[in-house]
Structure 1
């Protein structure tokens, strides 16, 4: 049974008099959180935030991450695991054969009931270079599983700005734009000056030594002179995809 179905059944039982006030409160507590000892899974997040708890797999043992994904998949139709290895995926798919692994994005996706997408409200994911694509794919796949159509426009950085100018109309057709760049991060400012939609900038750790593993791109984006540019953390494609999805669903 799904979390939402469990909640509705508990409410129906309470309404029918099968549960007392104290029992319904205890029931909600049991349904809202699963205690695995090393993790407390927040099932209510699907109702509270519009998407179930997302699992950050890096730093967890393979067994811990796999168990968390299995428990979430038993209660929620769509589940996402970020920074996941193929080794973890091989374990997960033995129990969840519908799971998919996106190699570049390092994402495990369990999508049992795809969310509806509005073709008139798209998210554009734009990268400066091909080396930024792994972070871009993390953003794009995250946005897609959360119910968004995504336009991918890759390798249009400022070193050959004519490439970007040839894609301006396509970028402008999107409702939200995610711009992903390493080095000095200049692409976010350029795109921000060309569109009337919110721009979410993602600095990447792509670059030589003075890039300081993405710090130069981060500072460049934070100091952007283009209004309407907001910045997430270095290499945080997931955060950008999630934020873009929230904005894209506003009406």
Structure 2
């Protein structure tokens, strides 16, 4: 305790960092940020931007950077990203902002990314599934896993998935995103001996176009796979990271 107080007094530790050390979380006007989740759960807290103002997103990202050195933000809008980049020019001018679709990964130069001796494969049925896969991919990259991305291999033409089979089989765990009837994860799971996490995507049209048909199809899979909620790329990526970390520990 005394060391923390002395560090705050001499300026080597910010009040937010001290609060994170003492409580595990930091409380601000935009809410509480769980700075200890990485140590407790093995996955950092993701900042869900939908429904938040640009100012709230900025505040939470700055708290994340101050206490953990990086921030993962999902479901961002162009306005939120513009406000974030403008604010970071002043508060963290050397921060790196990596945006893919509606997901943003921000890190400071001081952040030391981990390294996992594991490969996570990510596959999509079509281009429209890309944003959900992007969300999963950034989570996996943040954890230090090697990511092998295979896009546009939907079951409408099975040759597209069969000619990528060696890559899929080389992965330690697979995240497979698909809309419409959600058949791709079921097909992949029948061809590989690695864990498969199916992600139903709210793409397509007609009955079940909001992802319900894809979710139902994956839940009814004859082959063994795990299934997350509709469009839950962050959850799928996090689950893949936990599996990859266990594999990395076993290899060590």
Instruction: Tell me the equivalent position of 1:117.
Output: 115
8 A contact 1:181–1:188 mirrored in 2? yes
Query: How far apart, in 1, do the equivalents of 2:25 and 2:245 lie?
Result: 27
User: Is 1:193–2:157 an aligned residue pair?
Assistant: no
Query: How far apart, in 1, do the equivalents of 2:20 and 2:131 lie?
Result: 39
Q: In structure 2, do the counterparts of structure 1 residues 33 and 100 end up closer, same or farther at CA, with 3 Å as the change threshold?
A: same
Q: Deviations over 1:25-73 (max 9, x none)?
A: x977854232224412222213212343221111111111111111111
Q: Name which of 217, 241, 244 aligns with 2:240.
A: 244
Query: How far apart, in 2, do the equivalents of 1:53 and 1:186 lie?
Result: 31
- The SS at the match of 1:179 is strand
Q: Name which of 71, 74, 83 aligns with 1:91.
A: 83
Query: How far apart, in 2, do the equivalents of 1:64 and 1:46 lie?
Result: 22
Q: Deviations over 1:113-135 (max 9, x none)?
A: 242334x5200001111111111
Q: Name which of 51, 62, 76 aligns with 2:54.
A: 62
Instruction: Tell me the equivalent position of 1:76.
Output: 68
8 A contact 1:140–1:150 mirrored in 2? yes
> Normalising to structure 2: TM-score of the pair?
0.84
Instruction: Tell me the equivalent position of 1:157.
Output: 154
Q: In structure 2, do the counterparts of structure 1 residues 207 and 33 end up closer, same or farther at CA, with 3 Å as the change threshold?
A: same
8 A contact 1:86–1:101 mirrored in 2? no
Q: Name which of 204, 207, 225 aligns with 2:204.
A: 207
Instruction: Tell me the equivalent position of 1:20.
Output: none
Query: How far apart, in 2, do the equivalents of 1:116 and 1:54 lie?
Result: 17
8 A contact 1:10–1:27 mirrored in 2? no
User: Is 1:132–2:129 an aligned residue pair?
Assistant: yes
Q: In structure 2, do the counterparts of structure 1 residues 196 and 8 end up closer, same or farther at CA, with 3 Å as the change threshold?
A: farther
User: Is 1:174–2:171 an aligned residue pair?
Assistant: yes
What is the RMSD of the two structures over their aligned residues, measured on CA atoms? 2.4
8 A contact 1:114–1:145 mirrored in 2? no
C-alpha deviation, 1:8, in angstroms: 11
- The SS at the match of 1:152 is strand
Query: How far apart, in 1, do the equivalents of 2:44 and 2:100 lie?
Result: 22
Instruction: Tell me the equivalent position of 2:14.
Output: none
Instruction: Tell me the equivalent position of 2:11.
Output: none
4+ aligned runs moved over 3 Å, structure 1? 7-13, 26-31
User: Is 1:230–2:226 an aligned residue pair?
Assistant: yes
8 A contact 1:78–1:114 mirrored in 2? no
> Normalising to structure 1: TM-score of the pair?
0.84
